[in-house]
Amino acid sequence: MLTLNCPYCGLDKDETELAYGGEAHLKRFGPGSTDEDFESYIFGRENPKGVHFERWRCASGCTKWFHAARCTVTMEVFGTYSAQTFEPPKAIKDAISKKRPGWTWRNFS
């Protein structure tokens, strides 16, 4: 069972108490954007085998959305952080680099 720490209420939550929100840090493209951008935003996914950034909701807790950095192979959690950001904070990136030197994900590394 996956356990994540909600950065808002500070509690450790089991996956059954959380709701998954898919890939994190998507840049939204709406009406007026090109077909390519719209398609890539709605459907294109990183789906990496390894380091991943994703959105979770503290569904049966404080109900807030937050971010998590996780390895999709080992299920290791590198950290959770606020939803009010466009990219993972430095502390999270450093935590990942310690365990997965040379990692990249979209434009982050």
Partner 1 sequence: MKRYSAFAIAREAFRQHKGWERAWANPEPKKAYDVVIIGAGGHGLATAYYLGKNFGITNVAIIEKGWLGGGNTGRNTTIIRSNYLQDPSAAIYEKARSLYEGLSQDLNYNIMFSPRGVLMLAQTEHEVRGYKRTAQANSLQGVTTEFINAQQVKKICPIMNIDGPRYPVLGGLWQARGGTARHDAVAWGYARACSDMGMHILQKTEVTGVTQEGGNVTGVETSRGHIGCNKLGIVVAGHSSVVADMAGFRLPLESVPLQALVSEPIKPCMDIVVMANTVHGYMSQSDKGEMVIGGGTDSFNGYHQRGSFHHLEETVRALIETFPMIARLKMLRHWGGIVDVTGDRSPILSKTPLGGCFINSGWGTGGFKAIPGSGWGFAELMAKGHSPLTAEFGLDRFREGRFIDESVAAGVAH
- Which chain residues interact with Zn ion by CB under 5 A? 6, 8-9, 58, 61-62
If one asks whether residue 46 binds partner 1 (CB under 8 A), the answer comes out as yes
Q: How many residues bind partner 1 (CB under 8 A)?
A: 25
Q: Are 82 and 67 in contact (CB under 8 A)?
A: yes
If one asks whether residue 94 binds partner 1 (CB under 8 A), the answer comes out as no
Q: Report what 67 binds from partner 1, Zn ion, none; CB cut-off 5-8 Å by kind.
A: none
In the 8-state DSSP scheme, what is residue 72? T
**Region class of 52: left (phi > 0), else alpha (psi between -120 and 50), else beta:** beta
Q: Report what 75 binds from partner 1, Zn ion, none; CB cut-off 5-8 Å by kind.
A: partner 1
SS3 (DSSP) at 48: coil
If one asks whether residue 109 binds partner 1 (CB under 8 A), the answer comes out as no
Which range in 37-45, 77-85, 86-94, 96-104 contacts partner 1 by CB under 8 A? Answer: 37-45
Residue of 50, 94, 68 whose CA lies nearest to 13: 68
If one asks whether residue 86 binds partner 1 (CB under 8 A), the answer comes out as no
Q: Is 51 exposed, middle or buried (0-12, 13-18, 19+ CB in 10 A)?
A: buried
Helix (H), strand (E) at residue 40: helix 35-42
Residue numbers at the binding site for partner 1 (CB under 8 A): 1-2, 15-16, 19-20, 22, 35-36, 39-40, 42-49, 52, 54, 72-75
